[in-house]
Structure 1
Amino acid sequence: MAEIIRIQSISQLHAMMGFEKPTHPLISVIDVSKWEIGKEWVGVKAVSDLYSIALKDASCGLEYGRNTYDFGEGVLMFTAPNQTLLKTKEQALGEVQGWMIFFHPDMIRNTPLGQLIDNYHFFSYDIHEALHLSEIEQHTLGECVNLISKEIKARIDNHSQRVIVSTLELLLNYSQRYYERQFSTRSAQNKDVVSQFERLLKEYYSAGKFAELGVPQIEYFSDNIHLSPNYLSDLLKKETGVSAKDHISTFIVEKAKVLLLSDADSISGVAYKLGFNYPHYFSRLFKSKTGLTPQEYREMN
């Protein structure tokens, strides 16, 4: 099995890239055009303890998970700690233009952004779900990157962390806005995904898998639709106003209504058919959606 390299710090990252020592221990802005990747790094897997944000404008030969991607346009990609990346091709100086920001979790620890970072779901999107930016959007994010870069190069003082982190948060908020724009402009594709999700949910029920395997998780649908769980959930929420979890819960309650009125099974039996090992969880869900317990619903109808 090939060795997997663990990147634990900004200093280690700079050393691997052949760059000078970083001017800040917890964050770095990299000019991609100055990054040369020799054949010795092709095929080497790396797991990073760092967050990264990368804008590249040319084919970059990147493998993420089980898939390989080549981009011909400018795209913005995000990775969180503990994700595995692998380079699939060499890269000459000046071959790819763009920038990359790497920052250690300690950079945002004990800051408001540290509490909110998990809300930026795109850090766990798949690479093929990258954000495609317009020139104006690239320029706006570039201004944020330039501010961070200048602050990193300046003398560190009592205000440095707050200024850097607040600018980083601004960049992420712009990215959140641009992702919502991307969801909106791909409405036809998104509706197809919603249809696939609903079809898979119906087929899962028809095949008796609720009783056999339990209530399906978002990963079941994302694996079949070939999207990451967070991307699929965000897409459904943007397109329908309802999260994947709520889609599934509403489906269960609608099926439960039919079973409660047409099935001789006990409330527990209905619960088991719908994937609940503990009937009181089913009753709690049913009441939260209808205002009635399953028994009250059965008696009233």
Structure 2
Amino acid sequence: MGGNFECSSGLTLFSYTADIIPIVLAVFFKEVKYLITFRITFLIKTTIFKVKKNAHIPQKFTSLTQAMKAFGMPAPQHPLIALINGIDHRLNYDPPKYAHMLTFYKVSFRPNLGGTVKYGQTYFDFQDGGMLFAAPNQIIGHDQSVDTAEKQCVSRQITLLIHPDFFLNYPLATNVKRYGYFSYDTSEALHLSDKEKGIILSLLRIIEDELSHCIDEFSQDVIISQIELLLNYANRFYKRQFITRKVVNNTLLEKMEQILNDYFNDKKTIHKGIPSVNYLAENLSISPGYLSDMLRTLTGQSAQQHIHQKLIENAKEKLSTTNLSIGEIAFELGFEHSQSFSKLFKKKTNQSPMEFRARFN
């Protein structure tokens, strides 16, 4: 009897131990997994914190004096406008080492002296010279060291800095926003012919001459008129650039058509809605402003008008070849409301979707 009891107790103990071991192991591995996960999360957060800590927040310059001082330049003669001439005068200053933001307009001109300059993540080829434009509150520069070649390139140019307040009480205060090239990417810089360079250089020298002499009650009028003339010439030269680079731009136009065709054929409109100008520009690797201005020059239509044209083409196809309702067609084309679709269709074709469909029944 006693032996049976001991044997029974042993089996019971063994059975209990066999049952609890998996539980203990499960708890152990769960704790280990938790510790590993915690450690990895901690390392990731620490790394991100170090990256953010080391990342340089673009410095914002709110005045010309502040910016000129940071660049190692003397204070401007006028608090709202400054011209830095590195073509006619030898300059010795360091370009900013880090990205920065200006609260004023910046116009840069450089003749064909060779070299490249990096703006953001893009190297702009200055071999043939050209112009760059930046509107207030755009981030300029990069967070990398400046090499000797780039320093020489930047110092041998003319830079015009204009605070928006300088335009107050003049039509240019409003009209300056109409010059779309201030929103272009740096890769879409204005390339100039020798004759065009001469025109731009003469205007910049007139502005410099006016700023360097005694400022009187006529000075601002004269300078404003020269700036407006400069911007108008730049506008003309950009239109010329769209035309003379027609082969490149036609390739962009063909690529845009393909992007739109794929968008509608893949029925992305159902999930993503109507394609936007920003979507096209992003897929073409150009800025929205440059895209629309290029299309207006080449086709007479803006990017938005091209999108609407493609919408109408697809709408006509669905109205004439399917039995889908107007609401279903509107939904497939990315409209939230069928009324919006009908309104656009009527505007573009001078007839309602139902009237158009009736022609095929």
Tell me the TM-score normalized by structure 1. Answer: 0.93
In structure 2, C-alpha distance between the alignment counterparts of 1:264 and 1:185, rounded to whole Å: 47
Q: Secondary structure at the match of 1:68?
A: strand
* 2:217 aligned to which of 148, 155, 158: 158
- In the alignment, which residue of structure 2 is the partner of 1:36? 92
Match of 2:347 in 1: 288
Counterpart amino acid of residue 241 in structure 1: G
Give how far 1:2 is off.
1.3
Whole-Å Cα distance in 1 between the matches of residues 355 and 346 of structure 2? Answer: 9
Shift of 1:158: 2.7
Work out whether residues 99 and 141 of structure 2, in 8 Å CA contact, stay in contact via their aligned partners in 1. Answer: yes
Task: Tell me: CA distance 1:295–1:10, structure 2 relative to 1, closer, same or farther (3 Å).
Answer: same
Separation in structure 2 between the aligned mates of residue 38 and residue 102 of structure 1, nearest angstrom: 17
Check if 1:267 corresponds to 2:326: yes
Structure 2 unmatched runs, 5+: 1-54
Alpha-carbon spacing, 1:37–1:152, altered in 2? closer, same or farther (3 Å): closer
Q: Write the distance in 2 (CA, Å) between the matches of 1:70 and 1:137.
A: 18
Equivalent residue, structure 2, for 1:17: 71
**Distance across 1 between alignment mates of 2:148 and 2:179:** 30
If the length of structure 2 is used for normalisation, what is the TM-score? Answer: 0.78
Say whether the 8 Å CA contact 1:37–1:90 is kept in structure 2: no
Give distance in 2, aligned partners of 1:37 and 1:69: 20
Counterparts of 1:13 and 1:133, CA distance in 2: 28
> Unaligned regions of 5+ residues in structure 1, if any?
none
- Assess, with a 3 A threshold, how the Cα gap between structure 1 residues 11 and 91 changes in structure 2: closer, same or farther: farther
> What CA distance in whole angstroms lies between the structure 1 residues aligned with 2:339 and 2:56?
49
Letter in 1 for 2:200: L
* Aligned residue pairs, count: 298
- Counterpart selection for 2:188 from 129, 133, 146: 129
What pairs with 1:80-229 in structure 2 (closer than 5 Å)? Answer: 80-86=135-141, 88=144, 89-91=146-148, 96-229=155-288
**Shift in alpha-carbon separation, 1:110–1:141, aligned structure 2, 3 A:** same
Instruction: Give the distance between the partners of 1:62 and 1:68, measured in 2 at CA.
Output: 4
Deviations 1:25-60 (A, max 9, x none): 111110135443448x43x11011111110124325
Equivalent position amino acid for 2:100 in 1: A
> In the TM superposition, what is the alpha-carbon distance from 1:197 to its structure 2 partner?
0.4
Q: Give the superposed CA RMSD.
A: 1.9
Larger-gyration structure (1/2): 2
Residue 104 (structure 2) aligns with: 50
Is the helix fraction higher in 1 or 2?
2
Distance 2:203 2:117 in 1: 26
TM-superposition CA deviations, 1:143-183 (whole Å, max 9, x none):
11112112222333332222211110100100111111111
1:71 to 102, 121, 126: 126
| Amino-acid identity (%) | 34
Structure with more contact order per residue of length (Cα contacts < 8 Å, sep ≥ 6): 1
SS in structure 1 at match of 2:137: coil
Of 220, 227, 245 in structure 1, the residue corresponding to residue 304 of structure 2 is: 245
Q: Distance in 2 between matches of 1:47 and 1:4?
A: 6
- Rounded to whole Å, the distance in 2 between the matches of 1:90 and 1:116 is 38
Match of 2:141, SS?
A: strand
Alpha-carbon distance in 1 for matches of 2:340, 2:91: 54
| Preserved contact between residue 72 and residue 93 of structure 2 (Cα < 8 Å) | no
Give the corresponding residue for 2:117: 61
Aligned-partner Cα distance in 2 for 1:91–1:50: 27
